[in-house]
Structure 1
Amino acid sequence: MARRRDDDYRFLPLVSAISAINQKVNLVGVVLETSIPRQSKGTDCFCTVKIIDESCSSPGLLVNCFEENMEKLPSVQTAGDIIIFSRVMIKSYCGDVNAVFNKKFSSFAIFEGKHGTQFQPYQASANFHSTDQDNKFLDCLRKWLLNHNQEKSISLFGLNEYLPLEDIRVGDHLTLICKVLHICKVQENKWMAFVWDGTDAPRANMRAKKENEIEELPPLQLEPFPLPRDVLRKFPTIGTILRVVIENDNQGFQLLNCDRWVKLISVTCEQHVGLWRCMLMPYSKLQYLSDTEKLISESQRNYEKRLTLKRRREPFSGHLPLSSIMTETCYINAPLVTLMDVLNHPMVTGKFKCAVRVISIRPFQTEDFCSPQGIYRITLTLEDATARIHAFLFAEDSEYFFDGYPSDRTLKRTRNALLGVMIPSGRSNEEQQCAQRNPPWVEFCLKSYYTDKNDKWGTRKYRIFGTKFVD
């Protein structure tokens, strides 16, 4: 290998560095993945960087980096970029070998990867000093990456081992590839990212009825308060937007880059109040991906193709059937829109037709559907792959929907059909409350309006109209 400054320090191939236990070495490698920065058990901040080179493309070498704050830690823009580490210590612990970056004597610099042409780092520690020899190693690694054929390149960075949101499932140690749309602090010690890949997540499991559904409507989102409208307007109106949560204010989640595609590695996915969410764990890793990656380009093309489809706003995932014929609407030929279209509509007042699921009806008891004056007053919680809303079914719109004032038995049958409750005869009340339900996709006409003319955006409401239940 070429000398760096003198005979004492030179770049070691990773396969050789692994054997240099308790020695300070210089390394240059391709970044495979990084961890999210977090506070260490001491006073420093900490992250890990996994690197590979031609001598050790699997599993690579983990470099543990310590700095006085998160901003000084390596911040890799894209998986496949090249990093130089100077004077890192090789350590062995319980049979695992890694390198340790010490802020007192180690240094680093990060360069663009295989498509890079410059020899200036886009990030470097204050004590890093470049040499002409660095350029030779950068050239060699860039050529090595370019010489890999596409199939090997995908295998190298693990882009074929992930779940699209349409195949998401409950479980641990899952890997997702998605685009970061927005990041915000939702509580004192909790941050949330909103990610998307253009596909529709599967339907969440639901129970027939919970006691609190009688008194409370289900939440419309996982965050405590709705996002500002200027943020919401930037979100795509097709495809599920997944909430990614981290409940530790000692981690640098806020340093994630928005508008970037990332691979989230070893995350936990679960369902909460009927909504999907992803939890970043202390052991989770991430890769920033280039927009030129074949997988990212295909995702973008699939999304753009979906925008051109005539019925593009219908549930699109293979897990979701087309909307049922349980309802009839007055807007027979009107195009379907998503609930995110409705939320993002530039005018407060508007009329829409949507394919949605009814996940809650309040009041639940059909004998309470009407006020003492005999006027229907019902609130339905509607959802599709993009959002949830509460919509009122009121007065004459309810009379049209139910075809007047049918018997209580008929109303219960209608309610259960909308909620997807299938209760075999002979079941106890307790068994009925624990039964699984699968609300069908139905079409509704919706109108949006506001109740306070002085606060047009803050009081936007939704009402069902021109829709009839078909028995």
Structure 2
Amino acid sequence: MASRDCDYRFLQLLDAMASINQTVNLIGVIVDTSIPKKSKGTDCFCTVKIVDESYSSPGILVNFFAENMEKLPHVESAGDIIQLSHVVMKTYEKEIYILFNKKFSSFALFDGKCSTNFVPYQVSPKFRPREEDKNGQPDYQLERATNEWLSLKEIRVGERINLMCKVLHTYEVTENEWVIFLWDGTDTPPVTVQTKLEDEMVNPIPLDLQQFPLSRDILCTFPAVGTVLRMIVDQGNTEKLGLHLLKTGRWVKFLNIICHHHAGLWRGLLMPFTRLRYLPNDDPLVLQSQRDYDKRVSSKWAWMPLSSIPWPSYITETDYKEVPFVTLMNVLTYPEVTSKFRCVVRVIAAYPWRAEDFRSPLGTYMIRLTLEDPTARIHAFVYAEDGEELFGGYPSVDVMIRKRNKLLGIANSDDSRGRIEDAPRNPPWVQCCIKSYYLDKSDVWGTRNYRIFATKLVDQTS
């Protein structure tokens, strides 16, 4: 009878920590989880950090092993409750942890906010419900820190950061190579362009980080305002991760990710030590992010990049000064093939790059510019009369070089080439008008292109 009583006895974490190598039953509040992955053997593995009123910081890790990723715990939100039966208290390098053994342990997950109906939303195969469990919910609320989480507009290069974002999409580029698309309604800071101008012909600046761009159908599900950050798995992390189990459409706190620049774009790295917390939709931080986004998109001029506010550079003017700005994501996802737009962008590349080659031997302007804003990159062509308007007719090569340098953020020099060799570039935010068109009537979306029009460079002397 005593052993049966032990089966129903749940220890507090502080008491369980004194029961090393013993089997115990526990109830805890979930703080965060790891991303499931294949273990070094044949099993799948993940960890869940739990706390209770006896041990609220830093919490204890529970190591789970199962035959497949579907049998691992799939936590809905930080603050949910986990009931653990027949788990073993262990130590490794003086750190105490809890071992879930798939042969005899069991777990059940409960909604942390449901205090009246203590019914699990996931159970392990060996879990057996008991009448006594209905009164087992701990009276403990997970404290939610509000000052340790960065938004995308605050990210920094090379540091471990904690990021709160919404998971928009997961994309398997190749087998076991995934990209996670994250968004929070803010813009990542603009990146200094390091590429050489003359490389644009053979090694152009990419429009996206993926080798195979997302389909237009997927892009149309993304918000039109705010950066969508691409996050990949660190190349040194060779385990097979269960990224297909990430819940799209959910707000998540990622703990300990690293961000860096790649091809002039921000990219997040999912590291072996990265952990995550799913947030409920009514979490105060989620609600505040949504309010900030709604306020931003409700303003006529607030669709400009945040770093261009209060107004972009005055080196360009357009013929449609009262038309509200839209983002390049608006341009890409507009429901009609042909249309006209007014945008605030940076010109990060030009082909050809030499100003003396901007016109054909017959004198016709023919230039391909690479434009970016916080939401996307596109190629936009400057052709014929649109080039005449942009450059103010047919100025001398020296004037063309000066205008090109201002547009692309090229540092000037005193030599005949008009630039400092290999200097980093920081193109200004400029306004321009863009129109979309197609080349083949039988494939209008597949041959959709963009041109700059109704835009002119103002000849300002330095």
Q: Normalising by structure 1, what TM-score?
A: 0.93
- Equivalent position amino acid for 1:264 in 2: F
- Residue of 273, 286, 291 corresponding to 1:296: 286
- Residue of 354, 358, 362 corresponding to 1:365: 354
- Residue of 140, 143, 146 corresponding to 1:144: 140
**Superposition deviation, residue 113 in structure 1:** 0.3
Q: 1:84–1:110: 8 Å Cα contact kept in structure 2?
A: yes
- Partner Cα distance (1:406, 1:4) in 2: 94
- Partner Cα distance (1:76, 1:20) in 2: 26
Structure 1 residue 262 and structure 2 residue 249: aligned?
A: no
- Equivalent position amino acid for 1:270 in 2: H
- Equivalent position amino acid for 1:36 in 2: I
Structure 1 residue 399 and structure 2 residue 399: aligned?
A: no
Equivalence map 1:11-30=2 (5 Å):
11-30=10-29
Tell me the SS of whatever aligns to 2:136: helix
Structure 1 residue 196 and structure 2 residue 183: aligned?
A: yes
- Partner Cα distance (1:40, 1:172) in 2: 27
Alignment match, 2:231? 244
- Partner Cα distance (1:205, 1:101) in 2: 48
Q: 2:7–2:25: 8 Å Cα contact kept in structure 1?
A: no
Q: 2:191–2:264: 8 Å Cα contact kept in structure 1?
A: yes
Moved more, 203-212 or 449-458: 203-212
Alignment match, 2:431? 443
**Superposition deviation, residue 365 in structure 1:** 1.2
- Equivalent position amino acid for 1:251 in 2: L
Q: 1:334–1:353: 8 Å Cα contact kept in structure 2?
A: yes
- Partner Cα distance (1:128, 1:73) in 2: 13
Alignment match, 1:286? 276
**Superposition deviation, residue 259 in structure 1:** 0.3
- Equivalent position amino acid for 1:298 in 2: Q
Q: 2:31–2:51: 8 Å Cα contact kept in structure 1?
A: yes
**Superposition deviation, residue 428 in structure 1:** 10
- Equivalent position amino acid for 1:42 in 2: G
Structure 1 residue 326 and structure 2 residue 315: aligned?
A: yes
**Superposition deviation, residue 456 in structure 1:** 1.7
- Equivalent position amino acid for 1:458 in 2: G
Tell me the SS of whatever aligns to 2:420: helix
- Partner Cα distance (1:136, 1:358) in 2: 63
Structure 1 residue 118 and structure 2 residue 117: aligned?
A: yes
Q: 1:356–1:444: 8 Å Cα contact kept in structure 2?
A: yes
C-alpha RMSD of matched pairs (Å): 1.9
- Residue of 216, 220, 229 corresponding to 1:233: 220
Q: 1:39–1:46: 8 Å Cα contact kept in structure 2?
A: yes
- Equivalent position amino acid for 1:162 in 2: W
Moved more, 242-251 or 371-380: 242-251
Alignment match, 2:305? 315
Identity over the aligned pairs, expressed in percent? 53
Report the CA distance shift for 1:320/1:17 in structure 2 as closer, same or farther (over 3 A): farther
Q: 2:253–2:279: 8 Å Cα contact kept in structure 1?
A: yes
**Superposition deviation, residue 265 in structure 1:** 0.6
Deviations 1:49-104 (A, max 9, x none): 00000001101110000011111100000000000111111111111000011111
- Equivalent position amino acid for 2:264 in 1: G
Tell me the SS of whatever aligns to 1:243: strand
Tell me the SS of whatever aligns to 1:282: coil
Alignment match, 1:337? 326
**Superposition deviation, residue 157 in structure 1:** 3.5
**Superposition deviation, residue 117 in structure 1:** 3.4
Q: 1:208–1:432: 8 Å Cα contact kept in structure 2?
A: no
Structure 1 unmatched runs, 5+: 146-152
Tell me the SS of whatever aligns to 1:22: coil
Equivalence map 1:31-430=2 (5 Å):
31-138=30-137, 141=138, 143-145=139-141, 156-207=143-194, 209=196, 211-246=198-233, 248=238, 250-317=240-307, 322-425=311-414
- Partner Cα distance (1:31, 1:364) in 2: 55
**Superposition deviation, residue 408 in structure 1:** 1.1
Report the CA distance shift for 1:69/1:373 in structure 2 as closer, same or farther (over 3 A): same
- Equivalent position amino acid for 2:435 in 1: K
- Partner Cα distance (1:370, 1:449) in 2: 22
- Equivalent position amino acid for 1:33 in 2: D
**Superposition deviation, residue 432 in structure 1:** 2.6
- Partner Cα distance (2:441, 2:239) in 1: 40
**Superposition deviation, residue 47 in structure 1:** 0.3
- Partner Cα distance (1:423, 1:5) in 2: 83
Moved more, 284-293 or 163-172: 163-172
Q: 2:198–2:353: 8 Å Cα contact kept in structure 1?
A: no
- Partner Cα distance (1:371, 1:185) in 2: 43
Tell me the SS of whatever aligns to 1:90: strand
Tell me the SS of whatever aligns to 1:434: coil
Deviations 1:142-163 (A, max 9, x none): x422xxxxxxx5xx34343111
- Partner Cα distance (1:72, 1:201) in 2: 37
Moved more, 108-117 or 347-356: 108-117
Alignment match, 1:150? none
Structure 1 residue 463 and structure 2 residue 462: aligned?
A: no
Tell me the SS of whatever aligns to 2:207: coil
- Partner Cα distance (1:212, 1:351) in 2: 30
Deviations 1:185-243 (A, max 9, x none): 11233101111000011011223735523433211111112212221111111111101
**Superposition deviation, residue 375 in structure 1:** 1.4
Structure 2 unmatched runs, 5+: none
Report the CA distance shift for 1:4/1:358 in structure 2 as closer, same or farther (over 3 A): farther
